[in-house]
Structure 1
Amino acid sequence: MQFKYLLNKQIITYEMIKDKDVYFIELDQSYYDDMLDFMEENNQKKIEEHLAKMIETSTEMNFAKDALRTVVNRLNHKILKSIKEVEGNEQEISTIKEMLEWEEYSLTLNQLKGLWLQFIKEATLLLTRLNQNNMKGTIYRIKKYIHSHFDKPITLKSIANTFYMNPVYMGQLFKKTYGIYFKDYILNVRIEEAKKLLRKTDLKVYEIAEKVGFTNPDYFVTQFEKNVGTTPSQYRKKLMEQIS
Structure 2
Amino acid sequence: MSQIQLCNISKSFQGSFVFKNVDLKGEAGQIIAIRGKSGVGKSTLLNIIAGLELPTSGSYQLDDINMVEKNINELSRIRGEKIGYISQFSPMVPNLTAFENICIPLLLIKQNDDVTDSRMKRIEELSKLFEIQDLLHKKVNKLSGGEIQRVGIIRSLVNEPSIIVADEPTGSLDDETSSNILDYFHTLKLEGILIILATHSKMVSDHSDIVYNLTKDGLILEK
The TM-score with structure 1 as length reference comes to 0.28
**Higher radius of gyration, 1 or 2:** 1
Larger relative contact order (Cα-Cα within 8 Å, sequence gap ≥ 6): 2
Greater helix share, structure number? 1
Please identify which structure carries the higher strand content: 2
